[in-house]
């Protein structure tokens, strides 16, 4: 927050990115294994992740990724504040949302795009909360979830990143996101972790 | 003059706050302590579905059209999603750890707060019947939405859900065949009428109403996640005062007393499940 200066006169703001949201479906385990372990231990922003999974799945995924990573990876708990350097996974069978004060909420509302958790639900609420200070990343998947959410992030001035469909285990989700939004970066799976480390420390945005 | 998207978003947040005030002042329902991200999503959905241009326009309409409020917006804002034997491990834990405690009481009163269309209270009725507690049992299902209570009283579920419910029932330690508890009729499954005889459905608003009798067990799952911390504290306090000594409080799998002011007045019954017991030495 302290790094951001807002000029209330004309609504312009400049500053650094403050949060990352990632959406991933089919092929997600491998994709996340190629990104999260690369995130540096002093990463100055929280990362929220929706991975589509079986409603009865336990916290294996979080434990597994936590073992591989320098940053802490955990299942999101309701009402906890999203803090820098921590990766929050949406729990199985719950939507994950972000409040304006950057605390996390869970809901059991109807599935969205046949999914709970749904990527759109996280991305849209995250966009409202962080606006231009948010980075959205769409990875491999065999459906269209996340396209609308990424559009919302972009519309509010945030940064849109999509995994190069050629490097995705399932191409439908990244292709759908590319069709829906003018994305800023199309990256190979192996580049994404390094790119996030880089831009979160140095990148700046400018609001219209 | 064009307004920047950020200004527009700021304005929408103001309109949203005013909308919840308007609903409270006009209808007495207080959504001001609900999760904002959740309510905003519901309202946004309503705007899109009905082609309403702004939150202010929605506010104007629901102040002047009570039918629209009660049949549409109120329903949008209440929590209606539920399923039978959701989180089977919870039901297994109730069978193994809670039933022996309940069995010590001569008469057992169980309150499902925020029961919506009743799927969970029927699940509990089945479980307690199989565990031999049916004869000394009274279940109460409450919600603040009369429309869902009417549906709960019918005891009808969609046939499409039955396959999942059957699987949940088995994983939750069911001792019979789930098909013993319903009769299939076209697209619906009618739940065994005997279950209904033990359930009383009533209107109760967790946000506004008071203590609800002296219960041996209260079940309130996936309701508190929609409330802010202040409202959660108030509701947990209400539950505390509605339980007998040694009474059981069951929350949803992702809810806990972790941040609650009442945490030290309850003991966690077992790890892994959100099942708590009120201390015996307090009242």
d(CA A127, CA A205): 15
Number of domains within chain B: 2
> With contacts defined as CB-CB under 8 Å, which chain A residues touch B6?
11, 13, 131-132, 156-157, 207
At B249-270, the pLDDT tens digits run 999 999 988 878 888 899 999 9
- In a domain? residue B83: no
- Residue span of the structural domain in which A136 resides: 16-201
- In a domain? residue A5: no
- In a domain? residue A11: no
Task: Look at residue A5 in the predicted model and tell me its pLDDT.
Answer: 41
Percent of chain A exceeding pLDDT 90 equals 87
Do B68 and B111 share a structural domain?
no
Mutation target to probe the A interface, by most A beta carbons within 10 A, among B14, B35, B37 is B37
- In a domain? residue A192: yes
Last residue of a domain, one of B77, B110, B126: B77
Tokens of A123: 């991305």
Strand partners, A21: A48, A136
Do B66 and B16 share a structural domain?
yes
- Residue span of the structural domain in which B174 resides: 88-278
Do B108 and B56 share a structural domain?
no
CB contact under 8 A, B41 and A97: yes
- In a domain? residue A6: no
Number of domains within chain A: 1
- Looking up residue B223, the CATH number of its domain turns out to be 3.40.50.150
Q: What ipTM did this prediction achieve? A: 0.92
| The pLDDT of residue A13 is above 80 | no
Taking residue B237's Cβ as centre, other Cβ atoms within 10 Å add up to 15
Report pTM: 0.92
- In a domain? residue A31: yes
- In a domain? residue A130: yes
Last residue of a domain, one of B77, B102, B136: B77
Do B172 and B124 share a structural domain?
yes
- Which residue bears the tokens 């922003």? A45
Query: Which residues are within 8 A (CB) of B15 and not within 5 positions of it... i.e. 6 or more apart?
Result: B54, B55, B56, B59
Per-residue pLDDT averaged across B170-177, rounded? 96
Task: Look at residue A8 in the predicted model and tell me its pLDDT.
Answer: 38
Last residue of a domain, one of B46, B77, B108: B77
Task: Look at residue A206 in the predicted model and tell me its pLDDT.
Answer: 57
Tokens of B276: 């708590």
- In a domain? residue B283: no
Using a CB–CB cut-off of 8 Å, the residues of B that contact A are 4-7, 9, 13, 35-38, 40-41, 79, 81, 88, 171, 222, 225-226, 229, 252-256, 258-259
Tokens of A79: 């009402």
- Looking up residue A75, the CATH number of its domain turns out to be 3.40.50.180
Q: What are the start-end ranges of the H helices in chain B?
A: 5-27, 36-50, 55-64, 66-68, 74-77, 88-93, 99-102, 119-130, 146-154, 159-171, 193-196, 229-241
| The pLDDT of residue B282 is above 70 | no
Do B70 and B177 share a structural domain?
no
Do B235 and B161 share a structural domain?
yes
- In a domain? residue B82: no
- In a domain? residue B160: yes
At A157-184, the pLDDT tens digits run 999 999 999 999 999 999 999 999 999 9
Do B127 and B25 share a structural domain?
no
At B203-232, the pLDDT tens digits run 999 999 989 889 999 999 999 999 999 999
Mean pLDDT, chain B, integer: 94
């Amino acid at each position: 927050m302290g790094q951001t200066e807002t000029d209330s006169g004309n609504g312009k703001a400049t500053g650094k990115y403050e949060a990352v949201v990632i959406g991933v479906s089919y092929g997600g385990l491998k994709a996340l294994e190629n990104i999260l372990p690369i995130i540096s231990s002093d990463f100055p922003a929280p990362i929220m992740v929706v991975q589509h999974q079986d409603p009865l799945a336990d916290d294996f995924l979080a434990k597994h990724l936590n073992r591989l990573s320098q940053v802490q990876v955990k299942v999101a708990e309701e009402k906890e504040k999203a803090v820098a350097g921590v990766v929050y996974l949406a729990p199985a069978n719950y939507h994950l949302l972000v409040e304006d004060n950057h605390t996390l909420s869970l809901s059991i509302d109807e599935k969205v795009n046949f999914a709970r958790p749904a990527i759109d639900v996280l991305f849209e609420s995250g966009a409202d909360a962080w606006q231009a200070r948010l980075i959205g990343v769409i990875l491999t998947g065999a459906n269209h979830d996340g396209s609308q959410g990424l559009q919302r992030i972009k519309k509010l001035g945030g940064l849109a990143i999509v995994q190069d469909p050629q490097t995705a285990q399932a191409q439908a989700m990244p292709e759908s996101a590319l069709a829906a939004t003018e994305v800023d970066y199309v990256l190979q799976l192996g580049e994404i972790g390094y790119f996030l480390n880089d831009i979160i420390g140095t990148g700046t945005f400018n609001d219209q | 003059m064009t307004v920047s998207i950020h200004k527009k978003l700021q304005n929408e947040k103001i309109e949203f706050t005013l909308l919840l005030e308007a609903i409270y002042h006009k209808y007495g329902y207080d959504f001001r302590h609900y999760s904002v991200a959740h309510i905003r999503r519901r309202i946004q959905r309503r705007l899109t579905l009905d082609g309403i241009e702004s939150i202010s326009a929605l506010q104007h309409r629901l102040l002047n059209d009570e039918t629209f409020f009660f049949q549409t917006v109120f329903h949008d804002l209440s929590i209606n999603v539920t399923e039978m034997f959701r989180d089977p491990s919870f039901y297994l834990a109730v069978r193994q750890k809670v039933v022996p405690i309940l069995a010590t009481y001569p008469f057992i009163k169980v309150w499902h707060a925020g029961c919506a269309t009743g799927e969970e209270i029927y699940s509990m009725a089945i479980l307690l019947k199989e565990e031999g507690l049916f004869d000394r049992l009274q279940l109460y299902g409450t919600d603040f939405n009369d429309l869902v209570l009417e549906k709960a009283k019918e005891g009808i579920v969609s046939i499409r859900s039955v396959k999942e419910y059957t699987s949940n029932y088995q994983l939750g330690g069911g001792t019979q065949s789930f098909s013993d508890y319903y009769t299939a009729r076209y697209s619906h499954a009618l739940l065994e009428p005997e279950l209904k005889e033990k359930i009383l459905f009533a209107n109760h608003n967790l946000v506004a109403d008071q203590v609800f009798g002296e219960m041996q067990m209260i079940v309130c799952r996936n309701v508190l996640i929609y409330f802010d911390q202040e409202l959660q504290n108030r509701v947990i306090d209400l539950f505390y005062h509605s339980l007998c000594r040694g009474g059981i409080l069951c929350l949803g799998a992702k809810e806990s007393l972790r941040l609650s002011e009442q945490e030290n007045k309850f003991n966690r019954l077992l790890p892994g499940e959100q099942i708590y017991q009120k201390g015996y030495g307090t009242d």
